[in-house]
Amino acid sequence: MAIILGVDPGSRITGYGIIRAQGRHIEYIDSGCIRVGEKPMAERLQTIFHSLATLIGEYRPEEFAIEQVFMARNPDSALKLGQARGAAIVSAANSGLPVHEYSARQVKQAVVGKGGADKSQVQHMVQVLLSLSRTPQADAADALAIALCHAHMNQSVTRLAAGGKVRSGRVRQQ
């Protein structure tokens, strides 16, 4: 059984999602947003770092998953996103958590079934997969989707390590 903290980094809003995964059973624990507003960048990064450290201390995840940086049209936005990612990764690393990174396409593929899914499709599938009573906020849903992607990847790796063989997208026991 693993508790996974998924993070969707942002320089103004960082989403987080926490799930417990045991085999194919996945349970929702918590999710939300770290809102940093219009503070100077150094204060925003500090807030992201400390907020995630607090969540890690409270929930004691064994795994940390985060979205990789994508190249934005605006280089300044990409740099700020990279800095927010860095603050989140250092918070996890300081707690001794292994850090796993996934592209937006991988996350959407794992949760929705297609890499080009839009935000509303991700929100809907996260709600369905975790049996949530309402649709999570977009940044929290993205973070939960990252955690779900990691859980699915762990499950696949575990099956392969147990002697399974991949053929036509399925794992078969030998």
pLDDT tier at 172, thresholds 50, 70, 90:
very low
Residue 139 labeled ligand binder: yes
The structure's pTM equals: 0.88
More confident residue, 41 or 161: 41
Rg, C-alpha atoms of the chain? 16
Do the Cβ atoms of 50 and 173 come closer than 8 Å?
Answer: no
pLDDT single digits (tens) 45-76:
999 999 999 999 999 999 999 999 776 678 88
Strands 164-167 and 99-102, by their bridges, are unpaired
Question: Out of 27, 43, 63, 67, which one is annotated catalytic?
Answer: 67
Q: Where are the beta strands (DSSP E) in 48-123?
A: 63-67, 99-102
pLDDT tier at 154, thresholds 50, 70, 90:
confident
Decide if 67 is catalytic.
Answer: yes
Q: For residue 160, what are its two tokens?
A: 């392969």
Q: Is the pLDDT of residue 20 over 70?
A: yes
Domains and CATH numbers, the chain: 2-153 (3.30.420.10)
Q: Is the pLDDT of residue 133 over 60?
A: yes
Decide if 30 is catalytic.
Answer: no
Residue 118 labeled ligand binder: no
CA distance 153 to 156: 5
User: How high is the pLDDT of residue 139?
Assistant: 96
Question: Out of 38, 58, 101, 139, which one is annotated catalytic?
Answer: 139
Decide if 27 is catalytic.
Answer: no
Q: For residue 46, what are its two tokens?
A: 């500090």
pLDDT tier at 174, thresholds 50, 70, 90:
very low
CA distance 27 to 42: 35
CA 80, 65, 136 angle in degrees (round to 5)?
80
